[in-house]
Amino acid sequence: MLIFSLFYKELFTETTVIQLTMRLEVPLMRLLTICMVVSLSLGFAQNALSAEPNYELVYKLKASVVKVHVATQAGNHGVGTGVVVGKDLVATNCHVLANASGVKITKFGDSAIPDAIKADWKHDVCILRFQYLDLNPVELGDSENLKYEQSIFSIGFPGGPPKPQTTQGKIKALYALDDSQIVRTDASFVMGASGSPVFDRNGKLVAISTFKSPGRSAYFYNIPVKWVKALLDSPETTSLKTEILPFWDAPEQQRPFFMRVVLPYQNGHWAELKAVAQEWIAKEPANPEAFYYAGIAEEKLGDLDKAQQYFKKTLTLHPLHVATLFELGLIANQAGKADEVEKTRVALKAIDNALDEEFTEALKPGN
């Protein structure tokens, strides 16, 4: 009763849950109850973020999204996407422009050549400056207070179509990097979409589509708008030449841990995943994603007790970590623990009705 009284007194904030679970040794069943309660209290607000973007809003934003064309040193033609972020300013990914022999943008049948560039090559964000660019800038949002399962949408030129395309999705993970966080979504993209703006449901720019992992079950990563804002005050240059690789293209051992876990996870190399996750935990002991992947590795290696310990730690750090709730629910179902399964179901449904449907499907024999 103490825990629930505190919840109601402090309005069910995620911070409250984390503080409580870190202070107390909470048994798994109690922890699932806590997650269920906080999901119910926050779920309505989260579900409100799941609505499809307004058609008129999307139409308006498309007018600020441009196609970026580059001529490569080898004489080839490359295409990316850009978004107007200020008067005469277009943001895109640096890897679209790096070492190109020429660059221009097109919109409404017109083309424009930039006068200068601001570049953060490491973080893969560049801003092109033009003269007399008669396009309205989008509103810059906040990438530091995003939530898992929050609805987003992107606008870009995946595959290089003549008109910009809209892709909807949700935030599936947030990874701390340097002074901000990388945003992973399930809004897929292909070549031509690099530099696509990612918006929240209010049409505010929160990220830029940048890179994806290899394979069929790819992860889609977006750099935060915070880095775009920081670059606005940086000095300009006229050169597109660079030898600096973006962080995601660094040698394997120098890449962020959230990238290093993907291939062993997708390829079922559980011992390798365990080793990377353990290294991640040692370097970032407050990162819920590190504990999640450690839990997955132990689960697949057959140590369910250790897996549950890692999953429990994940939830103490992030009570609404959907993937962890899924795994604990599946483990509970295998063990015949109907109460834990039901609490998991209630927590997932409060976050998003679609998660309950997905969980129900996963519980079916053979899945």
95 and 203 in a common domain: no
Phi, psi dihedrals of residue 299, rounded to the nearest 5°: -60, -45
256 and 241 in a common domain: no
Give dist(CA 191, CA 160) in Å, integer: 8
Inter-CA distances, 313 with 21, 47, 286, 321, Å: 9, 26, 9, 11
Phi-psi region of 55 (alpha: psi -120 to 50; beta: other; left: phi over 0): alpha
Task: State pLDDT tens for residues 96-114.
Answer: 999 999 999 999 999 999 9
Give dist(CA 198, CA 183) in Å, integer: 10
Inside any domain, residue 146: no
Inside any domain, residue 55: no
Q: Give the DSSP letter of residue 101.
A: S
Inside any domain, residue 54: no
289 and 353 in a common domain: yes
Q: How many domains does the chain have?
A: 3
Inside any domain, residue 59: no
How distant is the alpha carbon of residue 293 from its chain centre?
Answer: 16
304 and 351 in a common domain: yes
Give dist(CA 65, CA 85) in Å, integer: 10
What CATH code is carried by the domain that includes residue 311?
A: 1.25.40.10
Give dist(CA 225, CA 152) in Å, integer: 14
Inside any domain, residue 212: yes
Question: With helix as H, strand as E and coil as C, how does 159-190 read?
Answer: CCCCCCEEEEEEEEEEEEECCEEEEEECCCCC
280 and 176 in a common domain: no
Total residues found in the chain within this entry? 367
Give dist(CA 330, CA 92) in Å, integer: 41
* pLDDT the model gives residue 32: 57
pTM, entire model: 0.86
35 and 75 in a common domain: no
Place of tokens 């290899």: 214
Helices (H), 10-86: 14-23, 28-48, 55-62
Give dist(CA 46, CA 171) in Å, integer: 12
183 and 322 in a common domain: no
Three-state DSSP at 109 gives coil
Inside any domain, residue 261: yes
Give dist(CA 22, CA 184) in Å, integer: 26
Give dist(CA 296, CA 293) in Å, integer: 5
Tokens of 203: 């049409």
Q: Give pLDDT < 70 ranges for the chain.
A: 1-51, 367
309 and 182 in a common domain: no
104 and 33 in a common domain: no
By the 8 A CB rule, do 280 and 287 touch? yes
Inter-CA distances, 66 with 135, 142, 207, 285, 295, Å: 10, 22, 16, 41, 43
Q: Residue 122 is part of which domain span?
A: 64-137+233-246
DSSP letters for 226-246: HHHHHHTTSPPBS-----PPP
355 and 272 in a common domain: yes
By the 8 A CB rule, do 103 and 97 touch? yes
What CATH code is carried by the domain that includes residue 111?
A: 2.40.10.10
* pLDDT the model gives residue 39: 52
Q: Give the DSSP letter of residue 306.
A: H
Inside any domain, residue 143: no
* pLDDT the model gives residue 6: 30
- State the amino acid at position 315 in one-letter form: L
